Structures are given as structure tokens and as C-alpha cells.
Amino acid sequence: MENYRIERDSMGEMKVPAERYWGAQTQRSFENFPIGWEKMPKEIIRAFAQLKKAAAQANHDLKPEKMTEEKCAAITAACDEILEEKLTHEFPLAVWQTGSGTQSNMNVNEVVANRGNAIAGAKLLHPNDDVNMSQSSNDTFPTAMHIAAATAIHDELIPAVDVLIATLKRLEQENQGVVKSGRTHLQDAVPISFSQEVSGWRGMLEADREQLTRSLDGLCQLAIGGTAVGTGLNAPKGFGEKVAEKLSADTALPFVSNPNKFHALTSLDRMVFAHGALKALAADMMKIANDIRWLSSGPRCGLGEIFIPENEPGSSIMPGKVNPTQCEAITMIAVQVMGNDTTIGMAASQGNFQLNVFLPVTAYNFLQSAKLLTDGILSFNERCVSGITANKEKMNENLHRSLMLVTSLNPYIGYDNAAKVAKKAHKENLSLKEACLELGFMSEEEFDKVFHPEELV
């Protein structure tokens, strides 16, 4: 480290890169945890900036003799620069650090203090005494994690789901009256309209959206005000409520201070519940993507009932091959989210006494899931679903070849006789009508009167 300055903390001196705003504790973490390439998510840093700004303003309201207007202004200005992404390179710490996230809290405290001092042109701020006033890493990291998770769901993921729902509604309208063969157990089943099939996909996403929305109630309950163990030591009365009020005003999300800080500091159940909604969405996206790639399989040796956009060559050896690549991307995302859900569930089970120390890994996995689903759904919508068209000729052909149309004869010849018709038709490569007439169960006139596949939906 050629150009450095000396920073001090309670453990002594540290050499810190001269051009950086971080301090001794950040540098210690940077050197002590050279693990992996996963860095603390930018969404967590952004949430910390929102939190530190709100905390400074709350402290100014509640104890202005300590948090002066000048100090509050300097903290606010530094936090605004973080929110404007002007200080992105000041947050180098790994996810794989202390399980409470203390070092990332101190990373933010040090950067805000040093940058705030530079803005003020005076040595106003101390990272612990001022930027971390009335706080502990034990309540700030869970709070930042909830802010980031709620924001990702409310501002990014739900709007992405809404885009895909709108596309599916359009496909429903465009395909009213298009009848095709249904399938259960990967075998032929009774008829269904294509619009009904699409409505099933839409219904899944609408249910997922409702579950995501419901998860916001828990995520909007914040640990701030609990400080070290939930008792609120060194925080003024009403601090947590004041911070939540200011965060709500800044974000338009209904943040509140969790009334039981002992719960808020030691449990990750809200994150587990919310990620369960992400997993449900991932599971439904897996099902929808699989349906689409089965229905579009071919072009000559598959089902071939729908056409999807052809975006890129599908093979380095087979000329002309095109694959359902957007479906493959979204299904890979789905399995990643399911793996993340296992990690978060395991992490949540590991709280000991007054604190859970699996916070960074929980935050990282949650935000990765939300980001992957958001980006994946938008790409899947734009580059696949929005371009789906029905192959009506193939649907009609498959419909009239389906042996399960025999189900419509049950009321007239009974289940057992209808099964005989289906088995004879399949074995001898006959139409259902031909098999039914040969078995003598109905006359041609009777069969034609009741057998109307397009009306079975």
C-alpha cells in the first residue's frame, strides 16, 4: 500500500488507502476476510444510507444537544451521495464476515463520517459517537436488511410480475375460442381452450403477487431502537418509532418499529416468510416455462402447438436449430431461488439467545433471489411470452386425434364401454367414431349428435 494514511480505532492503528473514506475497522475486515467474490449487496449499502440519514434526523429531533443541526446536515449530505451512487467504491467488504454484519455497519459509519467531515470542512463527525448514535450493528443490520428486501419486492419484483400478468391477459383475449387437447400426467386428456390454459398461468402469478404483497407487512417491521440486545440501551425514548416514520416518508413504504425488539433482533422469520413467497413465484415460473417449452417443442418431432420467438442459433453443430433459451434461463433462476430458500431457512434456525449471526448470508441470498426473479421475468416476458402465438392447425389436429374425447360418451354408453372404444381405437388405429360403431354401442346418427369436441370446454 504505497499511498496510505494512518487511521485509529479501539484496537490501534491501521494503514488505510489515502484516497478512501473508510477507516480502521473497514480496513481490518477487508484484510481479515479475503473470502470469495461476493461483496455486500449494493441494496444493503443503499438501505444503510437511508437508515443513517433517518437516524441522524431522529436524533436531531430527540436530542439536538448531541446531534446538532450542523452534524445532521453533514450526515445527510454524505448519505445522499451514497444514494446517488457517488461513493460506490467505498464499500469493499465481503459477505463472508462477522455474522452480525457489524463490519458493514462500521464501513458505512466510517465513510459517512469521513465524507461528512470533508463536506463540512471540519472534524465534526465520529463514526461511532455520531453516525452510529442511538444504534447498534445488532439493530441496524436487520433494519437495513428489511428495508432492502421490502424495497426489492415492492419497487422491482411486483412491477415485473405485473408486466407478465398483463401479457398473459392479452394472450387470453387473443385466443378466446381456440380449443386444444388438455394433458394430465403427460398423457392426452379432455379438451381445454388455449385461453383457459393461459388463464391458469395468469392465476398463478396473481396468487404469487398477493403473497408477495402480504410479505411486506412483516418486512416493514424494523428492529431499529433495540440497540444491542433489544432493550434499547443508549437510545432515546421513541427513537425507533421516529426513524421508522422518517423512512416511511422517504420511501413510501409503511415502515414501523417492531414493538418487540427481542423478537426483531434474534429471529429471521419475516425474511423466511417473504422468501417463501419468492420461492412460490419461482416454482410457478418453473411450471410456466416448462409448459411453454413443451408446447413449443419441435418444430416437427414435438408438440408444436405454439410458436415462440426465435432469438439466437441453438447449436454450434446443428444448423438451423433454435432452442427455448428464455425458458431455460428462467428455470435455472428458479432452482437458484429454491437453493437460496434452503440457505435462508437454515440461517434463520441458527439464532442464539439475543441475536442471529447469519445476517449477511441471509441478505445476500434474499436479494439475489429478488434480483434474479425481477430481471428474469422481465426478460422472459419481453423475449418469449409477448411473442407467443398459437399454432391453431396443430392444436386442432391434436384435439381430434385425442382418444380422451371418448369421455364425452360416458353419459350415453357408460365408463366401461367408453374405455373399450378408446382401447380399440388406439390398438387398431381407428377413429373413436369408427371404433364405437364397430362395437355397436351407438349408431352413426347418435354419435354425431353428441360428439362435439369444440363444445367440451
Sign of torsion over alpha carbons 56, 61, 67, 71? positive
Query: Where are the domain boundaries for CATH 1.20.200.10 in the chain?
Result: 144-181+193-393
Query: Where are the domain boundaries for CATH 1.10.275.10 in the chain?
Result: 4-133
Q: Tell me which of 1-15, 201-215, 387-401 is least confident.
A: 1-15
Instruction: For 220-233, write each residue's pLDDT tens digit.
Output: 999 999 999 999 99
> Which residue among the candidates 315, 349, 431, 443 is catalytic per the annotation?
315
Indicate the average pLDDT of the chain: 97
pLDDT at position 137, please? 98
pLDDT class for 67, splitting at 50, 70, 90? Answer: very high
pLDDT at position 118, please? 98
Check if the beta carbon of residue 409 is closer than 8 Å to that of residue 421. Answer: yes
pLDDT at position 2, please? 75
309 has a pLDDT exceeding 90: yes
pLDDT class for 1, splitting at 50, 70, 90? Answer: low
Q: CATH code for 402-455? A: 1.10.40.30
**In the annotation, is 146 catalytic?**
no
pLDDT at position 185, please? 97
> Which residue among the candidates 104, 137, 185, 193 is catalytic per the annotation?
185
Query: What's the average model confidence in pLDDT over 411-426?
Result: 97
292 has a pLDDT exceeding 70: yes
pLDDT at position 250, please? 96
Q: Which residues contact 248 (CB under 8 A, 6 or more apart)?
A: 254, 255, 256
Q: Most distant CA pair in the chain: distance in Å?
A: 101
Instruction: For 236-252, write each residue's pLDDT tens digit.
Output: 999 999 999 999 999 98
Residue type, 152: A
Cell for 70?
450542523
3-state SS string for the chain: CCCEEEEEECCEEEEEECCCCCCHHHHHHHHHCCCCCCECCHHHHHHHHHHHHHHHHHHHHHCCCCCCHHHHHHHHHHHHHHHCCCCHHHCCCECCCCCCCHHHHHHHHHHHHHHHHHHHCCCCCCHHHHHCCCCCHHHHHHHHHHHHHHHHHHHHHHHHHHHHHHHHHHHHHHCCCCEEEEEECCEEEEEEEHHHHHHHHHHHHHHHHHHHHHHHHHHCEECCCCCCCCCCCCCCCCHHHHHHHHHHHHHCCCCEECCCHHHHHHCCHHHHHHHHHHHHHHHHHHHHHHHHHHHCCCCCCCCCCEECCCCCCCCCCCCCCCCCHHHHHHHHHHHHHHHHHHHHHHHHCCCECCECCCHHHHHHHHHHHHHHHHHHHHHHHHHCHHHCEECHHHHHHHHHHCHHHHHHHHHHHCHHHHHHHHHHHHHHCCCHHHHHHHHCCCCHHHHHHHCCHHHCC
Q: Half-sphere exposure of residue 96, counting CA atoms within 13 Å on the CB side? A: 8
**In the annotation, is 60 catalytic?**
no
Cell for 145?
436488511
pLDDT class for 88, splitting at 50, 70, 90? Answer: very high
Topology of domain 4-133 in CATH is Fumarase C; Chain B, domain 1 (1.10.275)
Query: Where are the domain boundaries for CATH 1.10.40.30 in the chain?
Result: 402-455
Instruction: For 115-142, write each residue's pLDDT tens digit.
Output: 999 999 999 999 999 999 999 999 999 9
157 has a pLDDT exceeding 70: yes
Q: CATH code for 144-181+193-393? A: 1.20.200.10
- The percentage of residues in the chain with a pLDDT greater than 90, rounded to a whole number, is 99
Instruction: For 352-407, write each residue's pLDDT tens digit.
Output: 999 999 999 999 999 999 999 999 999 999 999 999 999 999 999 999 999 999 99
pLDDT at position 235, please? 98
pLDDT class for 35, splitting at 50, 70, 90? Answer: very high
pLDDT at position 79, please? 98
Query: What is the pTM assigned to this prediction?
Result: 0.96
